[in-house]
Amino acid sequence: NAGVMQNPRHLVRRRGQEARLRCSPMKGHSHVYWYRQLPEEGLKFMVYLQKENIIDESGMPKERFSAEFPKEGPSILRIQQVVRGDSAAYFCASSPPGKTEAFFGQGTRLTVV
Amino acid sequence: GEDVEQSLFLSVREGDSSVINCTYTDSSSTYLYWYKQEPGAGLQLLTYIFSNMDMKQDQRLTVLLNKKDKHLSLRIADTQTGDSAIYFCAGSANQAGTALIFGKGTTLSVSS
């Protein structure tokens, strides 16, 4: 059973471009979470999704950030018009229904130049 | 909301025990977690403890929970160089446990 797969592992974007981060949860997991880790900081919760639904987006910035988890395919975290302050590691985690134990991917390290 | 605090650094010799401490502010977390992050890698769930337990042991790992003082600790027995990593404690931001609040992490350095 492959773990949580995130791609790309590293992403470089110029200011103003769009960044799309993908996350494939573990097999059988229908819950996906996105976290952001700024340098030398802990992880900050962004959004919690189930298939086709956003359950909790209390940690998402109000503008430029969006997330989806379609019926088919990976979850996508989309950042429009990136700025230098968006540079961070973005981690995805997944869990099966009814369980709170979350398994993390290796992260996507976004660098905005 | 929940706030989680950890000491930032711990340095030990190989073979010694390591104790990593964590304090939290909100008692509503059903579970409290310990994660390990190696350089350039994702987070690996090490262990977790149910909030109505005082202690949980899992091989070299012992978790102690003091609910009165809102204090959580992770003890690693016979620490090895491969244990060098950043250790994060985490609690839940909600009763469902679907949004974790992480501390800033404790960097454990193990010297031989």
Q: What is the pLDDT of residues A55-76, one digit of tens each?
A: 999 999 999 999 999 999 999 9
B83: helix, coil or strand? helix
A17 to chain B nearest CA, in Å? 25
User: Do the Cβ atoms of B42 and A100 come within 8 Å?
Assistant: no
Q: What is the pLDDT of residues B8-66, one digit of tens each?
A: 999 999 999 999 999 988 777 778 899 999 987 888 989 999 888 999 999 999 999 99
Q: Is the peptide bond before A8 cis (omega within 30 degrees of 0)?
A: yes
Distances (CA, A) of A88 to B22, B62, B75, B97: 24, 32, 30, 24
What is the band of A98 on the pLDDT scale with cuts at 50, 70, 90?
confident
Name chain B contacts of A102, Cβ cutoff 8 Å: 45, 100
Say if A101 is an interface residue toward chain B (CB within 8 Å). Answer: yes
A58 to chain B nearest CA, in Å? 9
Name chain B contacts of A105, Cβ cutoff 8 Å: 42
